[in-house]
Amino acid sequence: MTDLNTLFRLDGRVALVAGAASGIGRAAAHGLAASGAITVCADLNEQGAASTAAEIRDQGGTADAVALDITDQASVDAAVHGIRSRRQRLDILVSTPAVNVRKPLLRYTAEEFEKVLRLNLKGSFLIAQAAGRVMSESKRGSIILFSSIRSLVVEPGQGAYAATKAGLVQLARAFAAELGGDGVRVNCIAPGVVETPLTEPIKRNPDWYSAYANKNALGRWATADEMAGPVVFLASDAASYITGTVLFVDGGWTAIDGRFQPPV
């Protein structure tokens, strides 16, 4: 019988968080560590990853830091091999890095499209593949990729980003189908508007910022910390029968049809 007292605990499990230097990745690393996971904070910004790991250790958790470029095969392989060598296992992967070039598709350059595709889709593929290989051998694991509401709804200027986030959903589903027999679960989290470095340009525009806040049911933006709970849930045994799905954490954005309040 499942022990309900430890259903959300991750004690002894090893978690790799790509993008842990800031934003959602940093929040996810803290959430996993607080739930007992040995957390490896990885980022292209190695100093930022080290800072997150130090914060976790200061709070009594266990954390390492590693430099990681998820778009580079050698960097990915080195990071995963290092974790396996030091910790002998890898139970959880959370991958958050993304980039967005906001402009109409007719004005996109091939280089800009490649930039968005390379990080958001190729990078996610490389890190999920590497983690999946380790997890399939140990016959357990949870891979959590970060999609977006833009996988489902789009607006002018978000076309390339939306395409990668929709592609990421199908990538996760394919991984789920192929790794399920080995006990590995693969899911996506799709945030709405979250206050992170990626959305800082919007925050500097009061009208734009308010329009997004008023688009969802809760009438506000999310904080990065509000993504930690969903990450811990999908990583834990509480989600043991959940794979190949998308968890929308969007304040009701995708539930609401338009901004007009009917006189009812």
Token representation of residue 116 = 């968005």
Residue 177 lies in a domain: yes
In a domain, 259, yes or no: no
Closest CA to 159 of 112, 211, 95: 112
Distance CA 82, CA 64 (A): 11
Q: What is the pTM of this model?
A: 0.95
Q: What is the CATH number of the domain that holds 20?
A: 3.40.50.720
What's the domain count of the chain? 1
Cβ neighbours around 200 below 10 Å, total: 10
Domain that holds residue 57: 4-248
User: Does residue 264 lie in a domain region?
Assistant: no
Residue-by-residue pLDDT tens, the chain, 264 positions: 678 889 999 999 999 999 999 999 999 999 999 999 999 999 999 999 999 999 999 999 999 999 999 999 999 999 999 999 999 999 999 999 999 999 999 999 999 999 999 999 999 999 999 999 999 999 999 999 999 999 999 999 999 999 999 999 999 999 999 999 999 999 999 999 999 887 888 889 999 999 999 999 999 999 999 999 999 999 999 999 999 999 999 999 999 876 667 677
Active-site position among 108, 161, 209, 241: 161
Determine whether 212 is an active site residue: no
The pLDDT value recorded for residue 1 is 66
